[in-house]
Amino acid sequence: MRRWPDSLRYVSIGLAALLALSGCAATLDLDVERPISHAVSRHADTPLNAQLAPQIPAGESGFHLLHDGHAALAARLSLAQRATRTLDVQSYLFHNDTTGKLVAATLLAAAERGVRVRLLVDDIDTADKELRLVTLNAHPNIEVRLFNPFHTRSASLLVKAWQALLDHVRLNRRMHNKVFIADNQIGITGGRNIGDEYFNAHMDFAFIDLDVIAAGAIVDALSQSFDQYWNSAAAVPATALPVAPDDVQLLRATRFLQQFRSRNLDSDYGRTLTAADPLPKLLAGHLPWHLAHADLIVDPPEKAINPETAASELLIGQLAGLWIDPAQRALIVSPYFVPGAMGMAYFNYWRHQGVQIDVLTNAYAASDVPLVHAGYANYRVPLLEAGVNLYELKPTAEPIGGRLRDLGSGSSNASLHAKTFVFDDAHVFIGSFNFDPRSMHLNTEMGLVIRSPALARQVTALVEHAMRPERSYQPRLVTADADNGTAKRLQWHDTHQGVARVFEVEPETSPIQRGLLRVLQTLPIEEHL
C-alpha cells in the first residue's frame, strides 16, 4: 500500500481538524428579523439643533478638525452625552479596552436617558466580544448589528482562516467606514477606530490620526449613508449570534461600565479629556466653525457583497466625478500607500501638468503592516523617477524647538494612521480611505471632500510639520557606477539633533527585517493589499 508523504499527511490531518472544529462551532441565525429604521429629521426640535442655529446658517455646513487624540475621544463622549434623540455609531474596530469601555458606558448612559442607539461594527474582530455586544443589544434602546459577518462563530484563528478560504470573495471585503452621529445634527468621521491606540490612551503606542467634526446640512448625508449600511443585506442583528444574555448580565454590565466611566473620568486621563473637549466652545460660539461646502463620498454597502459594483458608484469614481484636479500641488497622506497602475497614471499626468506631489506615509520601522509596506516599496523608485516627493514618518518623535507638534500624537512610539488629501490648499479630503488597492476595490470606505481654504491650510501645516527631516525620512534616488554603466539606488535623508544624516538601507531596521521585506516584495498579492 502506498503511503502519503509526511507533509501531505499533516495537511490532511490539519484540514480534517479544521472541518471538525467548524462543524462543532455555532453558527449565525440568518433568519432573524431585520427591522428597517432611519435617522430622525435634521430639523427635529433638539437642544443640539437650537445650539447650532446661531453658529451655522440654515443650509450650510460647519467643520472642526480633530488632530489630537484626546480631543477626538472627548468630542465623541461629549456628543453622546448631549444627544437627546438618537446616536448612530459605525466602526471598523471597537476594542474592549479603556476607551472602548468609556464609549460603551456613554452609549449605555444615553440609552438609559431614552436615546435610541444604533451600533454597526464590522465583524472582522468581534469573535471574542460577542457576549459584550449581545449584552449591549439587550438594552431596549440599543440595537447592535454586525457587518458582513462570519457565519461560523469561533474565536479560533484557524476556523476563521478556514472560513476565509472557503468564502474569500465575501469575507475579504470589510466595512472600514467610521462615523459617530448625534441627533442627525453633529457627526464625526475620519480615520479613527474605537480603541486606546487611536486616542492617546495606550501606554507604549499611538496612531497618528485625523478626524473632523461636521455640523449642519452635510450631517444629513452622513446619516443617510449610515441608514444604507444599517438596512443593507450585509448588516446582521446581534440577535443572530449564538449567545443569549439575560437581564442580570445587562444589569451587571451597566453597573460595571457606570463605575468604570466614573472612575476613569475622575482620573488624570479623564481630566485631560475634559480639558481637550472642543464641543462646549464650538456650541457656545467661542470657537469658530469652518463654514464650507462639502461632499460626502462613500462606497455603497453592496461593494462588500457584490464584486461587480460599477466603478462609478465606488468612492474613487465619486471622487473623480467631482472633477477636482490639482493645478499646483497634491498633498497625500496615507499610512498604507500602494498607488497601483491607476495611481501612477494620475501622478504621471499631474507631474506632466507641473503639479507638485508630496506623499507622507509610514517608514518601514513605523508601519504596523509590513506586507503593505512591501507593496509600497515596489513603487518607491518609479514614484521618485516620476518626480513625486516621498516622506516616511519615523516611529519615534524628536522634539522640535522643545515641543513636538505633528498630526496629533506626542507618543514616543507612533505610526501614521491618518488618511487625508489636500489639493491646491483649497480642497481637503478627510476619511477612512487609504491610497491602496484594498481601499479602492475591496473594503468599503467613506470621507468628506471639504471646499475650505482655511481648513486645507490647517491640514497642510500639520502635514508639513510631520514631513520635516526631524520627523520623517526622505527617500531619494542617487546614481551609482555599476558594471553595465550606472544604476539608481535609494538613500534615506533626515536630521537628528540638528545633524543631517544619510542611510543606505531602510532606517531603524535589522538585516532580518530587510530580508523579509525583499521576500514580501516578490509575492503576487498587490490586489489584496
Residue positions annotated with a catalytic role: 176, 178, 183, 417, 419, 424
Instruction: Measure the CA–CA gap between 172 and 529, rounded to whole angstroms.
Output: 11
Q: Is 508 left (phi over 0), alpha (psi -120 to 50) or beta?
A: left
φ/ψ of residue 194, rounded to 5: -100, 105
Helix H or strand E segment including 495 = strand 485-496
| Cα separations in angstroms, 22 against 129, 202, 243 | 19, 35, 17
What is the per-residue burial (b if ≥16 Cβ within 10 Å, else e) of 73-87? bbbbbbbbebbbbbb
What is the per-residue burial (b if ≥16 Cβ within 10 Å, else e) of 148-174? bbbbbbbeeeebbebbeeeeeebbebb
Residues in the chain, overall count: 529
Instruction: Measure the CA–CA gap between 93 and 404, rounded to whole angstroms.
Output: 28
Instruction: Measure the CA–CA gap between 150 and 171, rounded to whole angstroms.
Output: 7
Q: Exposed, middle or buried: residue 266 (CB in 10 Å: 0-12, 13-18, 19+)?
A: exposed
| Positions of E strands within 5-96 | 26-27, 61-66, 86-91
Can you name the residues that pair with 390 across neighbouring β-strands? 359
Instruction: Measure the CA–CA gap between 247 and 114, rounded to whole angstroms.
Output: 18
Q: What is the DSSP letter of 282?
A: H
Instruction: Measure the CA–CA gap between 136 and 126, rounded to whole angstroms.
Output: 13
Q: 443: helix, coil or strand?
A: coil
Computed from CA positions of residues 249, 115, 277, 463, in that sequence, does the dihedral angle turn out positive or negative?
positive
Instruction: Measure the CA–CA gap between 356 and 345, rounded to whole angstroms.
Output: 15
Show the cell assigned to 183. Answer: 441627533
| Cα separations in angstroms, 353 against 30, 288, 329 | 53, 37, 10
Show the cell assigned to 451. Answer: 471646499
Specify the pairing of strand 356-362 against strand 389-393.
Answer: parallel
| Cα separations in angstroms, 492 against 31, 38, 476, 477 | 56, 52, 6, 9
Following DSSP, what letter does each residue of 116-157 receive, concatenated?
EEEEEEEGGG-TT-HHHHHHHHTSTTEEEEEES--SEE-S-H
Specify the pairing of strand 472-482 against strand 485-496.
Answer: antiparallel
In this structure, are residues 225 and 179 in contact, taking their beta carbons and an 8 Å threshold?
yes
